[in-house]
Structure formats: C-alpha cells, structure tokens
Structure 1
Amino acid sequence: MNILFVEDDAMNRRVVRDMLTVAGASMDEAENAETGLRMIDQRDYDIVLMDLRMPGMDGLTAIRHVRARTDAKATVPIIVVTADTALDICRDCIDQGADEVILKPVAMNKLFDAIGRLIARGGAVMLN
C-alpha cells in the first residue's frame, strides 16, 4: 500500500511512518499541501493522509484541488489528520471531500480503523 502523508510537522510524519511500517505500507511525505499536490500528480497513492493546518495552502483547499481533478486520482481516499477539535470540523472535512477524519495525536488503532473502513467500502487496497 502506498500512502502519502501531507503534514508540516516532521515528528508527526515520523510517528505515522513507524505505525504504517508495522503494517507493511510505504509512506511518502510532503511537508506542505503544494508539494503534496505535486506528488499526487507524479505518483499513484492508495490513500492520502492530510493535515488541515499547514503554512501556505491548508488541507481543505488541497482536498478540494484533488476532488476537482478530471482523472482517476480525484477519487483517491483521503483521511484528514488534525488536532482541530471544533465541533463541526469532521462534518466540514467530509463535506469538502475527505473520506475519514482522525484526531491527533494519532493512535495506531484509530489510524488502522480508518484505513479498514476505507478498505471495507472498497476505497483502498488491503495492506500487505
């Protein structure tokens, strides 16, 4: 499984990378949304993990860019990973095109549960 994590915090990326390695997944990293969008242009991903609050373009704007594509990449499953606990943040993320939302700090069971729901819905391939 190829996963892209778009996250400005290097420690958060490292923690998630370690979790995904346990499951046999490979993870590419982008430290901002602009770089993440370029990486999506260049490679196919099974899942994109997207932070919301980053310098420059925010995660919701990046999600709208992905969903506006006219190719198959427009349907890549996106899991928002956020520290934002506003009451309506999950609904806003889903309304903007996210498939799942998990809160930071990322717990392995929450991450794998979200990936499992995507697999069950046919929106992602199975982990090795």
Structure 2
Amino acid sequence: MRVLFVEDDPMNRRVVKDMLSVAGAQMAEAEDAESGLRMIEEESFNVILMDLRMPGMDGMTAIKRIREREDDKAGLPVIVVTADTGARIREDCMENGADEVILKPVAMKALFDAMGKMIVRHAKRAAA
C-alpha cells in the first residue's frame, strides 16, 4: 500500500511514517499542498492523508483540486489529519470532498481504522 501524507510538520510525518511501517505500508511525504498535488500527478497512491493548515495552499483547497480532476485519481480516498477541533470541522471536510477525518495527535488505531474504511469503500466503488 502506498500512502501520501501531505503535512508541513516533519515530526508529524515521522510519527505517521513509523506507524504505517508497522503495517508494511510505504509512505511518501509532501511538506505542502502544492508538492502533494504534483506527487499525485506523477505517482500512484492508495490513500492520501491531508493536513488542513499549511503555508500556501491549505488542505481543503488541495482536496477540492483532487476532486476536480478528470481521471481516476479524483476518487482517491482522502483522510484529513488535523488538530482543528472546531464544531463543524468534520462536516466542512466532508462537504469539501474528504472521506474521513482523524485528529492529531494521531493514534495508531484511529489511523488504521480510517484507512481500513477507505480501502473497503474504494474496493466497493471499483467493483460497482
């Protein structure tokens, strides 16, 4: 499994990379949304983990750009990883194209549960 984590904080990227390595997943890293969008263009991923608050383009805008694509990558599962605990953050993310939201600090169980849901959902869409 190939995962792209778009996150400006190197420590957050390292923690999640260590968690994913336990499950044998490969994680590519992008330190900002623009780099993440370029990587999606050039490489193949099974899941995208997206921070919301980054310098330059924010994660919500990046998710909208992914969903606007006219190829299969428009349907890539996107899990928002955020420290934002606002009352409507989950709803806002889902309305803007995210598939799931998990909170920082990232707990391994929350990460794997969200990824499992995305894999099942994506497999059902592909089979339909």
Q: TM bucket by the smaller chain? A: over 0.9
- Residue of structure 1 equivalent to 2:115: 115
Q: Secondary structure at 2:102's aligned position in 1?
A: strand
CA RMSD of aligned residues (A): 1.1
1:1-128 equivalence runs, <5 A: 1-123=1-123
SS at match of 1:121: helix
* Contact 2:79/2:102 (8 A) holds in 1: yes
Larger helix fraction of residues: 2
Q: Relative CO higher for 1 or 2, CA cutoff 8 Å, sep ≥ 6?
A: 1
Alpha-carbon distance between aligned partners in 2 of 1:69 and 1:112, rounded to the nearest angstrom:
27
TM-score by length of structure 2 reads: 0.94
State the shift of 1:123 in Å: 4.9
Unpaired segments of 5 or more residues in structure 1? Answer: none
Aligned residues: 124
Q: TM-score, normalised by structure 1?
A: 0.94
Residue type of the alignment partner of 1:14:
R
Runs of 4+ aligned residues of structure 1 deviating over 4 Å after TM superposition are none
Retained in 1: the 8 A contact 2:52–2:58? yes
